[in-house]
Amino acid sequence: MGIREKPTRMDQVQSWRADFPVEYLYTTGVAGERFAKTLRERGMLAATRCQRCGVTYLPPRIYCQRCFADLSESWVEVPLQGVIHTYTVVPVRATGEPSQSLEVIAYIRIDGTEGGILGRVAVSPEAVYIGMAVEGVLAPPAERRGAVTDIRYFKPILS
Ligand SMILES: [Zn+2]
């Protein structure tokens, strides 16, 4: 039975167990590359803005998903400030290692954009709440790698 033929009886179905070594290289694309470079070099978040729709996309998109306008030259930079949209409390680190304490992981809507970013919030599980204003704390410039992990954590903005 060939790979393109559809099995019609159970005795035609074959399988085998094996390990497949898989290596991959994740490409960020045009928008992801700009996002990563802006975060590493300027400590800001790169977003794109559609003038026609008045929407600022974060993560950035190179086409407006509403009107399909080309946004490849419509970049804006926004600071790492926003509001906790939702959160969870986890007993492990992002690496999978047990944590000494519970950690708060939140989806943060970034101010002035239609979108947001996931991040760890340096606040106790008892103190966190939806709507909390937070700001990102970056790694020192020499330690940034152009990854979202360059944002070490978010902390509450004290008013
Ligand atoms: Zn648009």
pLDDT computed for residue 97 by the predictor = 84
In the chain, the number of structural domains is 1
Half-sphere exposure of 99 (CA within 13 A, CB side): 14
Is residue 101 situated within a structural domain? yes
Is residue 18 situated within a structural domain? no
Is residue 142 situated within a structural domain? yes
Q: What is the pLDDT of residues 36-95, one digit of tens each?
A: 999 999 999 999 999 999 999 999 999 999 999 999 999 999 999 999 999 999 988 777
Q: How confident is the model at residue 2 (pLDDT cuts 50, 70, 90)?
A: low
Q: How confident is the model at residue 19 (pLDDT cuts 50, 70, 90)?
A: confident
Cα(68) to ligand 1 centroid in Å equals 6
Cα(24) to ligand 1 centroid in Å equals 33
Cα(58) to ligand 1 centroid in Å equals 14
Cα(34) to ligand 1 centroid in Å equals 20
Cα(55) to ligand 1 centroid in Å equals 7
Is residue 20 situated within a structural domain? no
Cα(153) to ligand 1 centroid in Å equals 32
Cα(20) to ligand 1 centroid in Å equals 43
- Per the structure, the complete domain to which residue 37 belongs is given by 29-156
CA 29 to chain centroid: 14
CATH code of the domain containing 59? 2.40.50.140
pLDDT average, residue stretch 143-153:
94
In our burial notation (b when 16+ CB lie closer than 10 A, e otherwise), range 1-22 reads eeeeeeeeeeeeeeeeeeeeee
Is residue 23 situated within a structural domain? no
User: What are the DSSP calls for 101-136, one per residue?
Assistant: EEEEEEEEEETTSEEEEEEEE-S-TTT--TT-EEEE
Is residue 8 situated within a structural domain? no
CA distances from 154 to 16, 71, 87, 89, 134 (A): 47, 29, 12, 14, 6
